Structure 1
């Protein structure tokens, strides 16, 4: 049983809320010539590094730094900026500026470690991308389900690769608050839906209808994904997944906080879009923004009675 002091202490760091809201949009950002969302691509990249033998903590820092920089920069990433003719110093400046724009609330020590990944970028080994990566990217999430009630679906649905990546990034960012090992949290999150590479997602409702059969089905389908990994990496993944069942460890708390936050923010994003007003778009977000033709734009909209 928790002590009174522990029960009254914050269970999560409120200061990180806005960053997590914004970073979750990596599940929805796409660009011409690139397949899938940024989150989906970072999920595949993370697993390529892991199968290439890169230690999980190194992968965690690399992918998290990249994701946080992309929160504002989107696909204005190292590959594009370099191809567009920027010098290495200029590329670094842009990436660090994007990172700094959103990460002020991050634990200072972790923030510096992540920024260092962008300042001193390095080549990291890549191995084969396991088949479960593409399967998870093709597997849509169930939406909102509750036993005995029809599901609530929001379009377009996120996929399991996107969810796992965002939970992994959230977990790393949250890890200092829980004094958790970021590499373990990251790896657990990247692997926590292994079963859904093969198992269609019917949500909580489907799980309850399976009843006692749920455990065996999940174990079998999880094993299929684990079988794709070489013995050393498989052992690391299994040890990381040991934190998933409960919140008895710091790593378990960091993972479950990240998972719950992402699940609810995903739905909040749909509701936020549906409730956005034209006043917010035109006034707060300056859809028709300052520039040499701003006055003309305003006159056109007024005379056309738009909105």
Structure 2
């Protein structure tokens, strides 16, 4: 069974949520959604509700960025107006999303029900500050691409991809979401030296990862800790539908993270000016064009 090629463009666009920042808000959109997800879970929200809420917000933000419910409400719009705008963001990118899942995501955005926030576990801040290793291979020097993503951004993106992929793999989206949100628990304490560093740890790798993972799990109260542990049972392999959805999402994110660096490096002014219309249509476009032509820019 071939992976769903139709979702490729959506995943490429979603990946940029790791790099979108706004004044007055700390961290990227992906980083903040990661924190929102864990806050809702510790606040007692239903797991599937959280998975759909965070995924819906991510898809809407792929075009709207931080023109989110909080901002729109601050400008005086009511919930119906806010919901309509957020759903328009979802519709703009969600053409390839499973129709039933898309309808559920749209309903979440339209209703705009706030999830009761709980405390933020210590591992959230730690993963925010733990950079990913870059491209590593045993026996070779690493390739570092700046700026690096952090582990909360990666976990959030894998979680969102996993929910979107779940209908294709006939997986439980809530389990996939939680497995992805927790799959780098060990890196809250363990610096990321990549595959290269892990191989150099040899027989010490497994017990170190188990110990550092447990430290993160200990930040969670029961019964949430046990729910997370059950979800993490799908991580070791692709023997389950949830495992397949998770591992598909994980490898897609790892490669798209590098692809965006290469895409930026190969960007041309033809793309920027002609395709993306950097100097866009408007009452002064003719004047703008003359200025650029006269000054031979670019």
How far 1:119 moved relative to its partner?
A: 1.0
Query: Among residues 143, 159, 180, which one is paired with 2:171 in the alignment?
Result: 180
Name the structure 1 match of 2:30: 39
Note the C-alpha offset of 1:93: 1.4
Match of 1:94 in 2: 85
**Secondary structure in 2 matching 1:220:** helix
Does the residue aligned with 2:287 lie in a helix, a strand or coil?
helix
Cα distance in 2, alignment partners of residues 88 and 146 from structure 1:
50
Contact 2:79 2:112 in 1 (8 A): no
Q: Paired residue for 2:289? A: 298
| TM score, norm. by length of structure 2 | 0.99
Deviations 1:219-266 (A, max 9, x none): 000000000111200100000000000000000000000000000000
- Cα deviation per residue 1:184-210 (whole Å; 9 max; x = unaligned)? 000000000000000000000000000
Give the Å deviation of 1:180: 0.1
- Of the three residues 107, 126, 146, the one matched with 2:137 is 146
Q: Deviations over 1:64-97 (max 9, x none)?
A: 0011000000000001011012222221111111
Runs of 4+ in 1 over 2 A off after TM superposition: none
Q: Hey, what does 2:228 align to over in structure 1?
A: 237
Unaligned runs of 5+ in 1: 1-8
Asked if the contact 2:79–2:111 (Cα under 8 Å) also holds between the matched residues in 1, the reply is no
1:248 aligns with 2:239: yes
CA contact 2:79–2:110 (8 Å) conserved in 1: no
Counterpart of 2:119 (choices 128, 138, 150) is 128
In the other structure, the counterpart of 2:108 is: 117
Q: Is the 8 A contact 2:34 2:153 kept in 1?
A: yes
CA drift of 1:298 comes to 0.3
Gaps of 5+ in 2: none
CA distance in structure 2 between the partners assigned to 1:108 and 1:100 by the alignment = 11
- The alignment's C-alpha RMSD in Å is 0.6
Aligned to 1:205: 196
Report the equivalent of 1:20: 11
TM-score of the superposition, structure 1-length normalised? 0.96
Aligned partners of 1:175 and 1:183: how far apart in 2?
9
Structure 1 residue 106 corresponds to structure 2 residue 100: no
Q: Alpha-carbon deviations, 1:38-58, whole Å to 9, x = none?
A: 000000000001001112111
